[in-house]
Amino acid sequence: MRDLSGSVAVITGASSGIGAATARRLHQLGAQVVLGARRGDRLKEIADELGNERVAWAEVDIRSPERVEELFSCAVDTFGGVDCLVANAGVGAYGGILALSDAEVQELINTNLTGTVWSVRQAVPLLTARGGGDILLVSSVAGLRGRPDEAVYAATKHAVVGLAGSLDRELRPLGIRVTAMCPGATDTEFAMGRGRTPEMPQLTTMMRAEDVADAIVYALAQPPSMRTLLWSMRSVASEN
């Protein structure tokens, strides 16, 4: 496995859930982590938890290309470059195709898909300057097979899988590996209050954010001669 110590990883959606768990795992392995999310107070808490060593953060909304540029500028200014992007930022909402408001539909598309594209566009020149690196896009099992009452969310995650597959073919000659990570239901703040509730019994049988973070780190630590194109995972209790 590849030694990730000293590498610079930009992680979006890093204020909670899979993003925060990934930041902790990479930091434990000696990586330098750059955290981005809309909730700056949460990012500061994580940075303080990690001792503010090998950590930088920026309060960003990835729906804005200008704000995404600020996140990557923070990485360059603090650590000199970027070796890896974990594009994890995303939102969810359950409901039929007519049940979601126009604003909810736009938020799903602009965050899950458009924001991911903005992040990739910032990462590619910086990875190329380092001679290569990794782009890992966090999609979902919904990006492989959508279920009822998640059509718009599933569409955005299908798009992320398609984005990853095309990027793999485009960027591999530049030494950039692209992975689509497709976790199933995970016990995080995802869609809380928008189809999920804290007292849902299903939460107890879901995967944990740390489980997915371990898979992400494993994919990033593959030797340079290998690449993971798509990784789908579910809890043993999942019926899907």
Report all structural domains of the chain as residue ranges with CATH numbers, in order of start. Answer: 8-233 (3.40.50.720)
Summarize the confidence of residues 194-209 as an average pLDDT: 67
Average pLDDT over residues 191-211: 68
- One of 153, 161, 207, 215 is an active-site residue; which one? 153
Q: Is 153 one of the catalytic residues?
A: yes
**Mean residue pLDDT across the chain:** 92
Query: What is 88-153 written as a DSSP string?
Result: ---------TTTS-HHHHHHHIIIIIIHHHHHHHHHHHHHHHTT-EEEEEE--GGGTS--TT-HHH
- Do 78 and 34 form a contact (C-beta atoms < 8 A)? yes
Query: How far is residue 135 from each of residues 58, 154, 222, 225, measured CA to CA in Å?
Result: 19, 21, 13, 16
Dump pLDDT digits (tens) for 150-174.
Answer: 999 999 999 999 999 999 999 999 9
Nearest to 24, CA basis, from 92, 112, 86, 113: 86
> Tell me, what DSSP letter sits at residue 204?
G
> To 10 degrees, what angle do helices 40-49 and 17-28 make?
30
Q: Average pLDDT, stretch 76-85? A: 98
Residue 191: both structure tokens together: 């869609």
In three-state secondary structure terms, 64 is: coil
Tell me: pLDDT of 195 over 60: no
Instruction: Check if the beta carbon of residue 137 is closer than 8 Å to that of residue 112.
Output: no
